[in-house]
Each structure stands twice: as structure tokens, then as C-alpha cells.
Structure 1
Amino acid sequence: MTGAEAEILRTVLDGWRSAVDAHEPERVASYFTEDAIFQGLRPYTVGRDAVADYYASQPIGLTAAYDIRESRRLADDLVLGYLSVEFAFTDRPTLAVHLGVIVRRVGATWLISHYQVSRLG
């Protein structure tokens, strides 16, 4: 993983995490492309509105902590990230998952264009 790839991922994912922690679904969605493919722990959806709806349904107090495990530069404007994420709740055990993302440069901004969660086995 190069420093540039990690920095790109951290810039996007730190904003995502901050918005998740603050329970601000519209701000969470702003870190995604308009046509993002989103696979949380429910059937997949497409687009920012669907991302906002997903995070609006999450409980108050949900927080996310992530660790970048791997990254790859797929093209000048695409970076793949593979992460471990722990979602913490106020009333139940922490949920540990794997997260794969592809972030895409749109103008001068990097946004999540693909997001796929899988549970740890």
C-alpha cells in the first residue's frame, strides 16, 4: 500500500466515519457517488438516497472504527480498499466486518463508488 493510496482512502473514510458517528445520514451519503453500489447487511441498493436511507435506519450511538488492510490503485482515478471495521452499539455487542470499497475521483474529490460489507466468519 502506498502512502498516496492510504491517504486517499483515509480522507474519504474519515469523513464517512465522522458522519456515521454523528448519525448524519445525508452527510454519510455525501461521501458516495450518485450511482454508488451499496451492500450493507441488507440487500444491495444503488445511489446516495439509498445510502442515506440505510444509515438513517441505524441506531443512535452507532460508531465505526476501521483499519485499512490492503489497497490497490486500479487506475489513475480508482483506488480499491480492503478494511476491517468494527461497528459499536450502545445496547449490543460490537459487530466486526470486512469492508471492500472502491473510491473514484470525481473532479477534485474522491467518493465511494462501491461499498460491500461481509461478516467475519
Structure 2
Amino acid sequence: MKVLDEWAAGIAAHDPKAVAALFTEDAIFQGLHPYGVGRDAVAEYYDSQPLGLTAKYDVLETRQLADGVTLVYLTVDFSFTDRPTITVNLSVVLRDGLIAHYQVSRLT
């Protein structure tokens, strides 16, 4: 999926503004820290991530919810240079090609 490929590339490049541009202006964002709303919250979150972080994803399910609105459920391996990989489940809602909702769940 194009937007997810660009998301992963922005993370690998440590380019928080490029990642945030893939989200809607009113996106609800829940990473592994308290949630935020909007592109500024997304950029702040990814700016706080370490250099060398990469994201490799595998889409498990997609559902067309409405015209221009798609739910995507995936697993993501976030790899670091100095610690073990973290595997999470991620749900995103895409609205007109941008991420409108992002919700991470960490499995233990």
C-alpha cells in the first residue's frame, strides 16, 4: 500500500514531517505513548524515535468501510540499532489515501 510504504520510508529516513504529511490534519494517533491528534502530534512522536528505527509491515486484513475509507489491520516489526525488535499490531483507517486513525497494540 502506497501510503504505508511512504510511512515506513519516512520512519527509516527519520523524517517526522514527511511521516506526519501522510496523516489527515485531524488524525487520531495512538502509538506506544499517550495519544495525540493532528499532524503536529504525529511529527512530535516520530521525532522522539531513535535514529536507525525501521518499520517492516505485513497487511493482514483490509475492509472498505465507505467510499474513500479503508480499514487496514497489519503487523509491524519496529527494528532498532541497539535493542530487540518490537512487534505490534496496527489498525489504521485511511481516508482519501491519508491516515485518519492509527492505533497500535503491543502483544505480550
TM-score by length of 2: 0.99
- Distance in 1, Cα, partners of 2:73 & 2:47: 24
- Distance in 1, Cα, partners of 2:2 & 2:70: 12
| Alignment of 1:111 onto 2:102 | no
> Could you tell me how far 1:62 is from its partner in structure 2?
0.2
Aligned mate of 1:23, from 6, 14, 17:
14
- Distance in 2, Cα, partners of 1:94 & 1:120: 13
Aligned mate of 1:61, from 52, 67, 78:
52
- Distance in 2, Cα, partners of 1:120 & 1:19: 24
> Could you tell me how far 1:42 is from its partner in structure 2?
0.6
Q: Pairwise CA RMSD of aligned residues?
A: 0.4
- Distance in 2, Cα, partners of 1:35 & 1:101: 14
Unaligned runs of 5+ in 1: 1-9
Runs of 4+ aligned structure 1 residues displaced above 2 Å come to none
Unaligned runs of 5+ in 2: none
Aligned mate of 2:69, from 78, 91, 101:
78
> Could you tell me how far 1:48 is from its partner in structure 2?
0.1
- Which one-letter code corresponds to 2:72 in the other structure? G
Identity of aligned residues (%): 63
> Could you tell me how far 1:68 is from its partner in structure 2?
0.1
- Which one-letter code corresponds to 2:101 in the other structure? H
- Distance in 1, Cα, partners of 2:44 & 2:65: 29
Secondary structure at the aligned position of 2:72 is classed as: strand
Where is the helix percentage greater, Structure 1 or Structure 2? 1
Deviation per CA, 1:10-34: give whole Å up to 9, x if none. Answer: 1110010000010000000000000
